[in-house]
Structure 1
Amino acid sequence: MADLVALLRGVNVGGITVRSADLKALFVELGYADARTYVASGNVRFTAEGDRAAVKERIERALGERFGYEAWIVLASCDELRAALAAFPFDAADAARQPYIVFCADGDVRDDVLALAESTADDPVAAGPGVVFWHPPKGASVTTPFAKELARPRWKAVTTTRNIRTVAKIVA
């Protein structure tokens, strides 16, 4: 059994509303009796057996059928989330900035995201273990060059971003 986390992309924004109780109920119906949700941004921790790609596909299909939208998730293990937290290279306590981790579907996606990022002092970006670290100024998480790149449709199905405080709650 693997301790996994489904990180949903694009829920509770843009007209797609998925209540945490409904999300948990769906995972329980899929056979993940120990499912737990965290924060209202689409985070579900659960255990599962089998091929991760098949688990991901099953969850995305069920989300789409239940909630009526084209669902995308990044599926990661709790150990992968812990490794990302431990490797965060910026000052997470800097009150003027948002400490983000961009989760990517795989290493190739991470490399592609990094290749398009221009890390600057104002918009710092760095590679992590299967992820991209990002530390924009507060209030600028939709206006920096990297934010604008992440908003492009090509990244919708293969990336999702979380604040490190949310990630810490998920794996605690």
Structure 2
Amino acid sequence: MNSYAVFLRGINVGGINIRMADLKEALKARPFSGVKTLLASGNVVLASELPPAKVKAEFEACLREAFGYDAWVVVLEAARVAELVAACPYPADDASTHTYLTLASDPDMLTELYDAGTGLDGAELTRLGPEAMAWLAPAGGTLDSPFSKLSAKPKYKATTTTRNLRTMVKVRDAAAGL
């Protein structure tokens, strides 16, 4: 049995509202066990015999069928989440900045985003692997930061999602308990 973290893109924002209790209930019919939801922003840990690509396909199908939501998720093995958190060179938060990890299901799209982001004024980005990068945003100004605006473009919607490092730590800890 493999432990996974699943990160949903774009729920409970922009009119797409899914209660985590309803999501957990819908996932019962899928080949998953130990399902736990974390926060209301679409973070799930679970166990499955399936490989990551099949977990992604099953999870997205569940979201479409149960909620009518054209879903995109990023699936990472729990051990990989722990490695990414450990590899992040930035603090979880300090007085002036917040640390985020952008996760991707398509490494080529993440490379494109990373390359475009490195040219932005004041952007501090670190590639953590083929599926993740870390970046800093000014405290209180995350959504207004040039990199946040870049990563919100529709072309990245189906393949990337972003989480605060503190959230990633919570997901790591929850997945370790599976």
TM value normalised by structure 2: 0.90
> Equivalent residue of 1:95, what SS?
coil
User: Residues of 2 paired with 1:50 and 1:32: CA distance?
Assistant: 9
Given that residues 119 and 125 in structure 1 are in contact (C-alpha distance below 8 angstroms), is that contact kept between their aligned partners in structure 2?
no
The percent identity for this pair of structures is 35
Distance in 2 between residues matched to 1:107 and 1:45, nearest whole Å:
22
* Structure 1 residue 109, shift from structure 2 partner: 2.5
1:104 is matched with: 104
Distance in 2 (CA, whole Å) between partners of 1:106 and 1:156 is 11
Counterpart amino acid of residue 133 in structure 1:
A
Q: What CA deviation, in whole Å up to 9, does each residue of 1:26-74 have, x standing for no partner?
A: 2222132310001110011001112321221121011012111210000
Work out whether residues 120 and 147 of structure 2, in 8 Å CA contact, stay in contact via their aligned partners in 1: no
Shift of 1:110: 2.3
Q: Give the match's secondary structure for 1:109.
A: helix
Cα 1:143–1:93 change in 2 (3 A) is closer
Task: Please say if residues 119 and 126 of structure 1, whose CA atoms lie closer than 8 Å, have aligned partners that are also in contact.
Answer: no
Moved more, 39-48 or 120-129: 120-129
In the alignment, what sits opposite 2:167?
Answer: 166
**Structure 1 pair 2–33 and aligned structure 2 pair: CA distance change class (3 A):** closer
Once the two structures are overlaid, the 10-residue window that deviates more, 77-86 or 104-113, is 104-113
Cα 1:151–1:134 change in 2 (3 A) is same
- 1:151 Cα deviation (Å)? 0.8
Partner in structure 2 of residue 73 of structure 1: 73
Question: C-alpha displacement at 1:166, in angstroms?
Answer: 0.9
What is aligned with 2:154?
A: 153
Partner of 2:95: 95
The aligned counterpart of 1:46 is 46
**Residue 141 of structure 1 aligns with which residue?**
142
TM-score w.r.t. length of structure 1:
0.93
| Unaligned stretches of 5+ residues in structure 1 | none
Which residue number corresponds to residue 27 of structure 2? 27
- Code of the aligned partner of 1:153: P
Query: For structure 2, which runs of at least 5 residues remain unmatched after alignment?
Result: 174-178
Query: Which consecutive segments of 4 or more residues in structure 1 shift more than 6 A?
Result: none
Provide the secondary structure at the position in 1 that maps to 2:101.
strand
